[in-house]
């Protein structure tokens, strides 16, 4: 699956082979600075295969200036990388800038992702970030592809919300939205349903699929 975006802003990251900062200073642990210019799914696979277990993004994810198309496209690519690496339990070090006019719980839509190192936004950003860190765990909002259907399990809001989509137009939309797509290109009714369940994030003129994908459950299905 490749990104639906027409351009691919470069993502600059620094990567290491271990989670522990003390281990990362040992010889052979530092993978150096990398410029990611390909499709995000291929880049995240490549980082994993390279041995990256800690990845730091050089540039903040800026959701406060997504009226600018370049900023919006960079934000979608960066969020896609954070999401895909979170799904692999890679330690992602990143920074997030939210719109100051956003609601105080705007971060919760992203609360299944690895918490950022720094958060700027509305209200008490430090308190929001602490809540994010305390409540984060792997598998909080995920989806899997079954035979002829897609299933989503979402615990971002505290309770378990389950969704199953077997209509072809919904499955096609998920494929298109996974790495960002112009919102205008997504069927209106499908996009409205996904937005209503907060499974899609609007990033300027783009729309982006929030849940990360799993190929098998990390725990028994009833636990998740």
DSSP output for 112-163: TSPPPSEEE-SS-HHHHHHHHHHH--TTSEEEEEETTEEEEEE-TTSS-EEE
Place of tokens 């989806």: 143
This prediction has a pTM of 0.92
Q: What is the structure's pLDDT at 224?
A: 44
Spell out, as residue ranges, where the chain has pLDDT lower than 70: 1-7, 215-224
pLDDT of residue 6: 59
What pLDDT is stored for residue 31 in this prediction? Answer: 97
145 exposed, middle or buried (CB, 10 Å; 0-12, 13-18, 19+)? middle
Q: Domain segments of the chain: what residues?
A: 11-135, 141-213
The tokens describing 157, both together, are 């809001």
Predicted confidence at residue 212, as pLDDT, reads 96
pLDDT at 101: 83
């Amino acid at each position: 699956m490749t990104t639906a975006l027409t351009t691919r802003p470069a993502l600059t990251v620094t990567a290491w082979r271990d989670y522990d900062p003390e281990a990362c200073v040992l010889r052979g642990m530092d993978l150096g600075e990398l410029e990611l210019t390909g499709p995000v799914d291929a880049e995240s696979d490549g980082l994993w295969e390279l041995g990256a277990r800690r990845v730091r993004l050089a540039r903040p994810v800026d959701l406060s200036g997504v009226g600018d198309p370049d900023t919006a496209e960079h934000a979608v690519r960066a969020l896609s990388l954070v999401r895909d690496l979170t799904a692999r339990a890679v330690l992602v070090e990143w920074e997030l800038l939210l719109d100051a006019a956003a609601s105080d719980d705007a971060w919760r839509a992203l609360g299944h992702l690895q918490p950022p190192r720094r958060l700027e936004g509305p209200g008490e950003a430090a308190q929001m970030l602490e809540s994010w860190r305390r409540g984060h765990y792997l598998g909080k909002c995920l989806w899997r592809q079954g035979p002829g259907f897609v299933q989503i399990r979402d615990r971002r809001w505290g309770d378990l919300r389950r969704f199953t989509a077997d209509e072809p137009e919904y499955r096609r939309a998920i494929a298109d939205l996974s790495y960002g797509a112009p919102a205008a290109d997504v069927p209106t009714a499908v996009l409205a349903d996904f937005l209503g369940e907060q499974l899609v994030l609007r990033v300027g003129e783009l729309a982006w699929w929030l849940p990360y994908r799993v190929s098998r459950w990390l725990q028994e299905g009833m636990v998740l």
